[in-house]
Structure 1
């Protein structure tokens, strides 16, 4: 059987990019049980309420919903258990220092398979204010309007 290659996205947290200014991103491995991996391979997960924290020198992922595997038996996992993140020691120390000093938070951005291994992209982020969110929406709308108008002009439509 050939080895898996490439990147297969399972879940993305689009709301995180709306609610936070992303300052830095990291890729971390996950410690999972067998039924969790099978459920992820079926493409089922949700990062909406997820967050990360550093506890006792280890990084943990909380509130990520991986539903029970349908063909699982008594070995099935809890859907919202806390899962350990696999990061290098210097990465964990750097993240912990920035979270404590600058008041940043750790949020998961996406969950995917890279070369057959489950990975999560986490971000050091700062919360946006309400006016920042409105400004981002207005900016995105202005960019879309400009693209639309450019397309019309290229087609010769007024």
Structure 2
């Protein structure tokens, strides 16, 4: 059976990325240096922000989840000089996008999804700090999982 992503074209991704940038990140990437592309694989993740190449890659997700994926990735790209991974700067930028989704655009499902994403990483960090690494490892991202690769490529995978 075909998924929604099977019908997603590069042009669809670019159009949504353009709208997300304009609505949620109007001051980020004013030079349009970042590239958005559909790919077949991101090493098991649904998306990848590659800072060195200024690329955001998306793979195998539904059209419904694509705005969340793009906002998540752009938050990484926008915050990567101050915050690697899912730290406070990334979380705050995600929460700002959630407020905008709710109050400016009336997109309550997207706002809730963005907040849930942040809360998941906050819970992960608390569990990691308390020594409950088994749960944290299930919620991992490559910043923590493949630190060596992260330093080498300056990219962030996310689930």
Q: What's the TM-score once normalised by structure 2's chain length?
A: 0.25
Larger Rg computed on CA atoms: 1
| Structure with the bigger percentage of helix | 2
- Asked which structure has the greater RCO (Cα within 8 Å, sep 6+), the reply is 1
| Structure with the bigger percentage of strand | 1
Q: What's the TM-score once normalised by structure 1's chain length?
A: 0.25
